Chains A and B, each alone.
Chain A
Amino acid sequence: MLSFVLRRLLSGAAMLVVITTIAFLMLYAGGGDIARRILGQQATQEQVLQKAHDLGLDQPVLTQYLNWLSNAVSGNFGQSWFNGQDVAAAMASRFPVTLSLVLGATILSAIFAVVLGVLAATRRGGWADRIVQVLSLLGFAIPGFLVALGLVIVFAINLGWFKPTGYTTPDEDFGAWLSSITLPVIALAIGGIASVTQQIRGSVIDALRQDYVRTLRSRGLSQNRVIFKHVLRNAGGPALAVLAVQFIGMFGGAVIVEQIFAIPGLGQVGVQATTQGDIPLVMGLVLVTATLVVVVNLAIDLLQGWLNPRVRLS
């Protein structure tokens, strides 16, 4: 077990190094052009060179990378080129905001997907199944930001149930916080619900055909008990894998959703940094995302082992 975790951690670390290396080379290969972009077209050539020198952009990319890496290992991800803000601090203050959106959306997805997926699977071909199928097709097809825009227009602007934009921290006012993340969480969750519902429907249908389901029922266990204890446990593995993919994907989706709802999360800082060309911040965002991917995948592997005893051995 321990060696399994260590092995996964090592391969995760390898992935992290590969991703950050590629990202760094891509972002910093611009050299002098980067300084030009920061200063604008009016700046003189001397100013550009000076700026490039100040930022260390005149050194070979490899040297820059090694500097960045050695700093990063000790927790220093550099400063913003535009406002001097510490990248690590910026990430640390914004990560919890985005995480709360994504976690909320993931939990919502899991709950709705289990209910709808089981409903559709056990009434296969019936009207409930058909409605679930149509809804999940729509949820899958319609881009998340359109859903978010629709929610804003209907529930915030027309009905006035929520503030259309803005964010309140939970320690400031818990109720206001909940209200400020409700629409963004729903907007993020729709796509997740659609995908995970399809997965659960499929794996429940598969699991229901298994011999052991008949045998358990022959012991006098009710259909519902068999479904909710045995079938779901066995259908859980594949569904969990899809949920993990959705969880990661929602961090991407949050970029747009945060922009629509003016929520100060990672996505907002990412868009800002990207537009300005604030590369240390972009690099920080890539690093945080890649770390998250590695951690989530490890957590899912461990959960899979808990769900499926046959995985535990290998």
Chain B
Amino acid sequence: MSESNLFRRMLRNPLAVAAMVWLGLLILSSAFAGVLAPGDPNAGSVQNVLAPPGPGFPLGADSAGRDILGRLLHAGQFSLAAPVVTLTVAVLIGVTGGLIAGYFGGWFDTVSSWVAGVVMAMPGIIVLLAARAAIGPSMWLSMAIFGVLIAPGFFRLVYAAVTAVRNELYVDAARVSGLSDTRIISRHILTVVRAPVIIQAAMVFGIAIAIQAGLEFLGLGDMTLPTWGGILNDGFANLYTAPMLMLWPSLIIGLTCIALTVLGNAMRDELERAGGVPKKKGQAVDIVREHIFAHPEDPAAQLGEELLRVSDLRVGYDQRDGSVKQVVNDVSLTVRRGEVHGLIGESGSGKTQTAFAVMRLLPEGGRIVGGRVDFEGRDLALASEAEMVKIRGRKIAYIPQEPMSNLDPSFTIGTQLVEPMKIKLGLSSADAKKRALELLARVGIPNPERTFKAYPHEVSGGMAQRVLIAGAISCKPDLLIADEPTTALDVTVQAEVLDLMRELQKELNMGVILVTHNFGVVADLCDRVSVMRDGRIVETGPVRPIFAGPQHEYTQSLFDAILEDAPARGELVTTQKGAGA
């Protein structure tokens, strides 16, 4: 986004406009201080000492009998010019250093990064105190030194941006096409860092104003110049006799710092908003229901009691424009005790969303917008969070897809296994540990004691998935929801984990919803399968008749993909990629 565009968008943000108006007025009134308040701001007279507001002294006079308003106006020149010095020094050092270190790397990178760390480590005020002791009361020099102190902020910003784009293809292309380094930096890299540098500059300007005012307030500045901090200092010294003296410089300093922060934040927000991909509007819900191919039950099959019945489930995500994008449309399915129900489809078909909806663990912004989820005589779609907490883990459990990211990296595997058992089953720590070790042994972990004490990053992916399976079955659930439990694993490990799941399912007589994109897994484990596409079930029934005679063209294309030995995750039939499985 270009800067002019950014500026135009900022005009739509009332707070940012207010900030710009304030800063504009401040700059103008300071620039024309000589016209608005003619005369020497340092000239005072003894009979006007601490004069109250009146003719000639709109805001009163200070302890030297000087007109406060005039001084404030003139002070603006110095109080705004000093941060400009800071900013110039900081930008020159920080941006140049960041560009060189980030673009060329090498020894300069190492040294400058270390120096930036050291400079940043020290508190600025202490360094400025030392500098003041060494060089005496020079506001300009102090503010230039503060520019050096705050330069690492720009350095790191530019450094990060440059190292990020240095190896981008378009920069490579520019290099290959023979552009010189200076041309590449000025044309490709400066455009990337420009916006963040402007934002940082607004923040630094505010900090510089605060620091300068602080130094003047401490009486460490150049007392011959009128400055906001100096006026504040005078006000503080006469706090009891003329309390209003402090008000005006405080207001100006405070409002200016707030305005700069508001401006910086508004710019950042606008840039972030522009950076994000605009979301597609939710697709219109079809009025005509697509036909679902439902294969008849095998009359000879022995069916268990019904555990879960999902009817006409709809899941939607709230969009920024207020609409709701529906990712699951009228999905109905049942799971019986002891039955494995496969949910198959490619990425974005809504199978994982369906699974999350049953547990009521949809990602942020997602919710059930219609239908029922009947489980043990109640509709989970309407259950309270407290009721769901009771059901989760104990009645319905979950095995995720990606083993490593599903274990908390900060706690040992043992802690993560023991914690739910203590809460859900009321076991003592010792009993829970004993059972956790048994479970680890049961899921085929060779050295349960060691794994119990290990952190997630210390075990392999296959091990981690076994740990997650152990966790899921630890409270003997009735229904297990497994979301592509083998997708992230090595092929050799996949078969072992599937075997383990089959054994455990038989052992505990659980109902299972198995989300997968792989018909091989369906054939291996499932009794029943539903094929999903674009958030709908297009074909459902017992596994055998579907394998024998797939009816829907999409099901057929999934089979074709297996026969061609191609991964079934590809774009088989053009589908809209939505909130993902």
Interface residues of A (CB under 8 A from B): 15, 18-19, 23, 26-27, 29-30, 37, 124, 137-138, 140-146, 149-150, 152-153, 157, 208-212, 214-223, 225, 229-230, 233-234, 248-249, 251-253, 255-256, 259-260, 270-271, 273-275, 277-279, 282-283, 285-286, 289-290, 293, 297, 307-310
- State in angstroms the CA–CA spacing of A10 and B400 once bound together: 45
| A30 to B, closest residue via Cβ | B134
Inter-chain contact A209/B364, CB cutoff 8 Å? yes
Contact A289 B123 (CB under 8 A): yes
Q: Is B166 an interface residue (CB 8 A)?
A: no
What separation, in Å, do the CA atoms of A26 and B133 have in the docked complex? 9
B214 within 8 A of A: yes
What is the bound-complex CA distance between A30 and B132, given in angstroms? 12
Q: Among the listed B257, B410, B474, which residue makes an inter-chain contact with A230, where contact means beta carbons less than 8 Å apart?
A: B410
Is A282 touching B130 in the complex (CB atoms < 8 A)?
yes
Give Cα A66–Cα B423 distance, bound, in whole angstroms: 64
A207 to chain B, nearest CB (A): 10
With A146-B253, A248-B121, A275-B220 given, is the CB distance from A309 to B130 under 8 Å? no
What 0/1 pattern do residues 236 to 264 of B give for CB contact below 8 A with A? 10011001001000100110011011100
The answer to whether A146 and B406 touch across the interface, beta carbons within 8 angstroms, is no
Task: List the B side residues contacting A214 at CB < 8 Å.
Answer: 356, 361, 398, 400, 406
Residues of B contacting A252 in the complex (Cβ-Cβ under 8 angstroms): 123-126
Given A209-B364, A259-B218, A285:B402 Cβ within 8 A:
no
Query: Do B126 and A289 touch (CB < 8 A)?
Result: yes
A234:B125 contact, CB within 8 angstroms: no
Decide yes or no whether B570 CB sits under 8 A from chain A.
no
Q: Is the CB of A256 within 8 A of B475?
A: no
- Stretch of B23-31, B303-311, B331-339, B387-395 with 4 or more beta carbons under 8 angstroms from chain A: B387-395
| A309 surroundings in chain B (CB, below 8 A) | 409-410, 455, 457
B479, chain A: closest CB distance, angstroms:
12
Q: List 25 A-B contacts (CB under 8 A).
A: A19-B118, A27-B133, A29-B134, A124-B364, A143-B209, A143-B213, A145-B214, A153-B243, A153-B246, A214-B398, A215-B468, A217-B361, A218-B392, A219-B398, A220-B390, A220-B423, A221-B420, A233-B408, A248-B121, A256-B214, A256-B217, A271-B218, A274-B220, A282-B129, A309-B410
Given contacts A143-B253, A248-B121, A290-B122, contact A255 B400 (CB under 8 A): no
Is B48 part of the binding interface, using a Cβ–Cβ cutoff of 8 Å? no
Inter-chain contacts of B409 with A (CB < 8 A): 212, 234, 308-310
- Expressed in whole angstroms, the Cα–Cα distance for A15 and B114 within the complex equals 10
Residues of A within 8 A of B133 (CB): 27, 273-274, 277-279, 282
A210 pairs with B243, CB closer than 8 A: no
Q: Which residues of B contact A248 (CB under 8 A)?
A: 121-123
Nearest A residue to B123 by beta-carbon distance? A252
Q: Give Cα A289 to B129, complex, Å.
A: 12
Min CB distance, A191 to chain B, in Å?
A: 10
Chain A residues near B250 (CB-CB < 8 A): 146, 149-150
Contacts of A26 in B (CB 8 A): 130-131, 134
Cβ of B432 within 8 Å of any chain A Cβ, yes or no, is no
Q: Which 6 A-B pairs have the closest CB atoms?
A: A220-B393, A252-B123, A143-B210, A252-B125, A218-B398, A141-B261
Given that A217-B392, A260-B236, A309-B455 are contacting pairs, would A270 and B416 also be in contact in the complex, using a CB cutoff of 8 Å?
A: no
- With contact pairs A27-B133, A279-B133, A286-B130 given, residues A211 and B402 touching in the complex (Cβ less than 8 Å): yes
With A30-B134, A146-B253 in contact, is A293–B410 under 8 Å at CB?
no
> What is the CB-to-nearest-CB distance from A208 to chain B, in angstroms, rounded to a whole number?
8
B419 interface residue (CB < 8 Å to A): yes
With contact pairs A37-B136, A157-B239 given, residues A146 and B130 touching in the complex (Cβ less than 8 Å): no
B397 at the interface (CB under 8 A from A): yes
CB neighbours of A152 from chain B (8 A): 239
Separation of A41 and B219 alpha carbons in the complex (Å): 21
B122, B130, B419 interface centre (most CB from chain A within 10 Å)? B130
A259: shortest Cβ distance to chain B, in Å? 6
Bound Cα distance from A152 to B393, whole angstroms:
54
- Name A289's contact: one of B122, B134, B219, B243 (CB within 8 Å): B122
- Within 8 Å CB of A30, what residues of B? 134
Whether B389 contacts A18 by the Cβ 8 Å rule is no
Contact B420–A234 (Cβ < 8 Å):
no
A222 to B206, CA, bound (A): 43
Report the bound CA distance from A230 to B214 in whole Å: 41
11 additional A-B residue pairs with CB within 8 Å, beyond A143-B253, A279-B134: A15-B118, A142-B257, A143-B213, A144-B210, A218-B392, A218-B393, A219-B398, A219-B419, A221-B393, A282-B129, A309-B409
Q: Find chain B residues with CB under 8 A from A208 CB.
A: 364
Chain A residues whose CB sits within 8 angstroms of the CB of B455 once the complex forms: 309-310
- Are the C-beta atoms of A220 and B424 separated by less than 8 Å? yes
